[in-house]
Structure 1
């Protein structure tokens, strides 16, 4: 057995790595997978960068940020597999949410109108809203910025974005330190269940099939250990298919609820997995189809265009100066070539391209593959914008 240590945070979207270990998929590939639970993304990042673990359940933008030097210790990271897409909630305190005009169902289904409601509510609130984000370089922070900016809100001026570990978000709201947060499940649902917050936006409605977590390695370690990487990716792909199967949902909920994994009630964990979101305590659930995906539609495939969208947002918010060298480095963090190599002997559909125009699919569409049949689901941004990775400058020039 080949030993591999992997770090993760206690979130619903850690499901694939947890299932790979606990359901025997890693063992079947000859990998002795040990999971190390962390409480913050900064600590997890450091474990990977300094070699304390060989792999990590990581925020996709954080992998790009570390590679581009936007971190305390720069390192070249590689993400050959996506562990999930979507899965986040934006929740705000009940008094802030009371100032939003739309009813609960419409609020989540129409993020553009809700963003404008949110902008108006800022002026009515008792203070500049303090919104928790799990890391400055997270999909949560980038999605929140994108969503707020659509309504003319400057996320660096009109609100305060405060970095907190996901597991401390609810406590911070209870203490009055924050007015809301954007985090992966089950923490949004936990704040709603506690009566502290209401759901105001869903990540899946901001960018459908938006990139979320990746299986990430140090690039040098990945290149030195190709057989181990391939074994782990095969185990991960099998585990992802198991996680996405509704027949396994009860077992997955029970697994994630353990005290050493997410340590939250089963009913909270089940909400994300079933796509049945309670927008307010006591309210009927709102169905959000595809709230989180693990395997379907080639979820695991690391499209380079998604890494480049992340880069475009770093440029947009002046976290980095644009350059051809940085753009190339960002795109190279996602490694479809390693994905193809590792899964070549499986029956998984294999996309023919490594990049695509993001936000172009309004409905499900068949795409060209090198093996099998593959249908991709809608990937629209809520504002209808299209991201062409071959013309990032034009895309940025059109953003508010």
Structure 2
């Protein structure tokens, strides 16, 4: 095995190792980081020959104690933006020049911090995945080496410290006494790392949870299926959900029947149809998607319903003429880059990230399909709400207050900074800011300025519930005998969408919510009258054949 180390350093470590030979391996003090593990093993990951299989390599490195499993997990969440400055090296050095020199040599070996972390885990991942299509021994070994170096750097930075220590939080926005009758104050709130979750995410670093008396932690979830399953298992107190999910879960669609309330809307707009650059110049309208594989984040999502709505207007049957595939949002850009999907209707920031990675272009913002459409929501289970009524009310109020703050364009750049962190979105701040401000490149050579690309309005209109239920009937997700009359639509909407409570809480935080529960919704290709949702569905079927 060839080690990348100077001979004097290696001899010193060999001598120490021999002197401490009678000690347990776990008791050997590391000269590099001050921890207890095999001191020589900091260098072993730099061997010229490594296992060809990534999983084997990671297993070997863990066994060698180059880093622990939690260090690998942390490495996978770190973005290059966190490590670009000299502060990173100074932090590792902790006034020890040898530690700092080691970190710099490791980074240099990989070609710089961007190469060590970004190529392995972050901003240039799509470039690697593209290379993987024509992979050879050199590029594969280079990538694996950078994975190892990135994780080892994380170990050096975090050794002797609690790597999971959260960043300091800002003071609460307003100095008001929190409620004193809360049944529970330590809360776990699940979220998917997308900009739709902005009110839920930003309420931790910007102090909105603290303002309302909570020590709340937002828990990053890998997929919507995981959110659903964790909700049913009772592992979370409340959740970030796609707006159709509470309807689907309460009615037992796609899972066991489990009562969930949609307490308030998190975001309106904020999605896009993004197409692989392989199809640039070939896609001008819905008919051009024929034969495509298209990613959506979850079957019971506004993304799936809006995509189907759009495709049908081009004469396509979404169940026959294309393949719609559920893709966890964090996986979407890589799948687009390698050609696993041709296009996607995804939440941001992944549409903008695809442009950033030069993997795709933005074909259509969903605000152009339906201005002001709902996307994601704050939700909690019936059981949890019944057990914690005061907590639920205060928590919903915190989210509504946060959504109001996020709706002000003047606050968007501050929010982008707060939620881009690795604990939250783990995205380049410039990508998140492009989404939140509406100042963005579309991947077609145009710089756009669309301030309402995403917006935040917590009011859960009952007309939203009616449109969602109607489209579920249209696409056979919901049996027509469960929603065929206005009364049946009303029953679903009023049972699940807590419009009256959201109005009440909005007023308490100083907002001016609508007094009406319904409004006529104007979409790109038609107008939805919530007074007769069944007639709307039948009209669509007659006009487009699906």
Q: TM-score, normalised by structure 2?
A: 0.62
- Paired with 2:409 and 2:302, the residues of 1 have a C-alpha distance of 26
Aligned length: 353
Q: Which has the larger radius of gyration?
A: 2
TM-score by length of 1: 0.84
More strand by share: 1
Is 2:524 the counterpart of 1:382? yes
Q: Give the drift of 1:168.
A: 0.1
State how far apart, in whole Å, the 2-side matches of 1:243 and 1:341 are: 19
Alpha-carbon offset, residue 328 of structure 1: 4.3
Select which of 261, 264, 273 maps to 1:81. 264
The 1:258–1:63 alpha-carbon spacing in structure 2 relative to 1, beyond 3 Å, is same
Measure the CA separation in 1 of the matches of 2:228 and 2:418.
Answer: 25
CA change 1:171–1:120 in 2 (3 A) is: closer
Find 1:306's aligned residue among 464, 489, 499. Answer: 464
In structure 2, the partner of 1:90 is 273
Distance in 2 between the 1:182 and 1:328 partners?
A: 29
Question: 1:13, CA displacement in angstroms?
Answer: 1.7
Q: Relative to structure 2, which stretch is displaced further, 335-344 or 161-170?
A: 335-344
Runs of 4+ aligned residues of structure 1 deviating over 6 Å after TM superposition are none
RCO comparison, higher one (Cα < 8 Å, 6+): 1
Partners of 1:236 and 1:121 lie apart in 2 by 38
Q: 1:313 to 1:226 in 2, by over 3 A?
A: same
Where 1:330 maps in the other structure, the secondary structure is: helix
Structure 1, unmatched stretches of 5+, are 101-113, 123-127, 360-380
Equivalent of 1:152 in 290, 315, 327? 315
Aligned to 2:191: 8
| Greater fraction helix | 2
Moved more, 343-352 or 11-20: 343-352
Aligned partner (choices 274, 277, 286) of residue 440 of structure 2: 277
The aligned residue for residue 220 of structure 2 is 37
Give me the CA root mean square deviation.
1.7
Residue aligning to 2:449: 287
Task: Give 1:246 deviation, angstroms.
Answer: 2.9
1:14-33 counterparts in 2 under 5 A? 14-33=197-216
Match of 1:322 in 2: 480
**In structure 2, do the counterparts of structure 1 residues 245 and 393 end up closer, same or farther at CA, with 3 Å as the change threshold?**
closer
Pair 1:52 & 2:235 matched: yes
> Are 2:61 and 1:61 aligned?
no
Aligned counterpart, 2:423: 260
State the match for 2:134 in structure 1: none
Q: Is this contact kept in 2: 1:67–1:330, CA < 8 A?
A: no
C-alpha contact 1:230 1:343 (8 A) present in aligned 2: no
Alpha-carbon distance, 1:329 to partner: 4.7
SS at match of 1:319: coil
- The unaligned stretches of length 5 or more in structure 2 are 1-183
Q: Which moved more, 1:219-228 or 1:198-207?
A: 219-228
Q: Is the 8 A contact 1:86 1:204 kept in 2?
A: yes
CA offsets, 1:243-283, max 9 Å, x none? 223332222111121111111111111111111232216x2
Give the Å deviation of 1:188. 0.9
- Is the Cα–Cα contact under 8 Å of residues 302 and 336 in structure 1 kept in the other structure? yes
